[in-house]
Structure 1
Amino acid sequence: MIRQLTFVLLMLAVSGTMASCQKKAEKKQIGIQLWSVRDALKSDVPGTIEKLGQMGYTFVEAAGYNDGQFYGMEPADFKALLEKNGMTMKGSHTGINLPKDGEWNDAMAWWDACIAAHKAAGAEWIVKPSMGAEAYRSLDTLQMYCDYYNAIGEKCNAAGIRFGYHNHAHEFETELDGHTFYNYLVENTDPNKVMFELDLYWIKAGGKEALDYFKQYPGRFELYHVKDETELGGTDATMDFKPLFDAAAQSGMKNYIVEVERYNYDPLESVRMSYDFLNQAEYTH
Structure 2
Amino acid sequence: MKLRNIFLTLTAFVLIAMSFSFCTSTPPKKEIGIQLWSVRDDMGKDATATIAKLGEIGYAYVEAAGYNNGKFYGMEPAAFKALLEQNGMEMRGSHTGIDLPKEGEWDKAMEWWKECIAAHKAVGAEWIVKPSMGGNSYRSLDTLQMYCDYYNKVGEMCNEAGIRFGYHNHAHEFEVELDGNIFYDYLVQNTDPDKVMFELDLYWIQEGGKNALDYFEKYPGRFELYHVKDVEELGASGKMDFKPIFEAADKAGMKNYVVEVERYNFEPLVSVQKSYEFLNNAEYTK
Q: TM-score, normalised by structure 2?
A: 0.91
Name the aligned partner's letter for residue 241 of structure 2: D
Letter in 2 for 1:258: V
Shift in Å, 1:24: 9.7
| Number of the residue aligned with 2:265 | 264
Once residues 27 and 271 of structure 1 are traced to their aligned partners in structure 2, the CA distance between those partners, rounded to angstroms, is 15
- SS of equivalent residue, structure 2 residue 159: helix
Match of 1:255 in 2: 256
Query: Identity of counterpart residues, as a percentage?
Result: 73
Counterpart secondary structure, 1:82: helix
Give 1:144-163 correspondences, 5 Å limit: 144-163=146-165
Matched residues in 1 for 2:239 and 2:33: separation?
A: 21
Distance in 1, Cα, partners of 2:66 & 2:152: 23
Query: Cα offset for 1:233?
Result: 1.7
Residues 168-187 of structure 1 mapped to structure 2, 5 A cutoff: 168-187=170-189
The 2-side partners of 1:153 and 1:188 are apart by 13
Residue 93 of structure 2: aligned partner: 91
- Identify which of 201, 221, 224 aligns with 1:222: 224
Which aligned segments of 4 or more residues in structure 1 are displaced greater than 6 angstroms? 23-26
Query: Alignment partner of 2:273: what SS?
Result: helix
**CA deviation map 1:83-123 (0-9, x unaligned):** 00000000000000000011000000000000000000010
SS in 2 for 1:72: coil
**Change in CA separation of 1:115 and 1:24 when aligned onto 2, cut-off 3 Å:** farther
- Equivalent AA in structure 2 for residue 114 of structure 1: C
Instruction: Report the Cα offset of residue 272 of structure 1.
Output: 0.2
Partner of 1:70: 72
Determine which structure has more spread, i.e. the larger CA radius of gyration. Answer: 2
Residue 257 of structure 2 aligns with an amino acid whose one-letter code is Y
The one of 190, 197, 210 aligned to 1:208: 210
- Give the distance between the partners of 1:114 and 1:64, measured in 2 at CA: 12
Q: Any gaps of 5 or more consecutive residues in structure 2?
A: 1-14
CA distance in 2, matches of 1:33, 1:104: 30
* Structure 2 counterpart of 1:134, from 112, 133, 136: 136
- Counterpart amino acid of 2:54? L
User: Following the alignment from structure 2 to structure 1, what is the Cα–Cα distance between the partners of residues 130 and 196?
Assistant: 10
- Distance of aligned partners of 1:266 and 1:113 in 2 relative to their CA distance in 1, 3 Å threshold: same
Cα distance, 1:156 vs structure 2: 0.2
C-alpha contact 1:230 1:237 (8 A) present in aligned 2 = no
Distance 1:124 1:191 in 2: 16
Residue identity matched to 1:180: I
SS of the residue corresponding to residue 128 of structure 2 reads strand
After superposition, the C-alpha distances for 1:179-233 in whole angstroms (9 at most, x for unaligned) are 0000000000000000000000000000000000000000000000000000012
1:109 to 105, 108, 111: 111
Distance apart, 1:237 and its partner CA: 3.0
**What is the CA-CA distance between 1:278 and the residue it aligns to?**
0.1
- TM-score normalised to the size of structure 1? 0.91
Deviations 1:14-33 (A, max 9, x none): xx9xxx9xx99963100000
Provide the rounded CA distance (Å) in 1 between the counterparts of 2:84 and 2:204. Answer: 29
The equivalent residue for 2:242 is: 241
SS of 1:60's equivalent?
strand
Aligned residues: 265
User: Aligned AA for 1:284?
Assistant: T
Q: In the alignment, which residue of structure 2 is the partner of 1:60?
A: 62
Using a 3 Å threshold, how does the CA distance of structure 1 residues 124 and 207 change in structure 2: closer, same or farther?
same
1:9 aligned residue: none
Distance 2:138 2:238 in 1: 31
C-alpha distance in 2 between matches for 1:26 and 1:162: 29
Structure 1 counterpart SS, 2:227:
strand
Q: Give the C-alpha shift of residue 47 in structure 1.
A: 0.1
Shift of 1:238: 1.1
Say which of 48, 51, 60 aligns to 1:49. 51
Aligned to 2:9: none
Q: What is the rounded CA distance, in whole Å, between the counterparts of 1:181 and 1:73 in structure 2?
A: 36
